Amino acid sequence: MSKPMIELPSQREQDAFNLRRWDELLNDLEMMRIETDRHGQIIMSPPPSARHGTYQSKINYALRDLLTEGQMKRGGTTGRKR
């Protein structure tokens, strides 16, 4: 019995597809909280709840209290703009 095989596009073809897909998505302001997997499939994250900011603030204060030197910078989005 033969094993099933999945044919994938070449890395170059997949990269080109993903770049085209991201160009589409970046032009759609409704799609602000999205990622794509390595096959270009959209993975959406729901917006954070109202409690998210409260938790984020508590964590920031706890980290600040533990910091003995240097400075703390609050993180933001990791998306890049073109």
Question: pLDDT digit of tens for each residue in the chain (82 aa)?
Answer: 788 888 888 999 988 988 888 888 777 766 566 777 877 777 777 777 888 888 888 988 888 888 878 777 766 544 444 3
- What pTM, to 2 d.p., does this model score? 0.38
- Report the C-alpha gap between 66 and 71 in whole angstroms: 11
**CA 69 to mean position of chain CA atoms:** 30
- Which structure tokens are listed for 63? 């980290």
Q: Which two tokens stand for residue 43?
A: 């993975």
Contacts of 34 by beta carbon, 8 Å cutoff, 6+ apart = 25, 42, 43, 44, 45
Q: Please state the domain extents for the chain.
A: 11-66
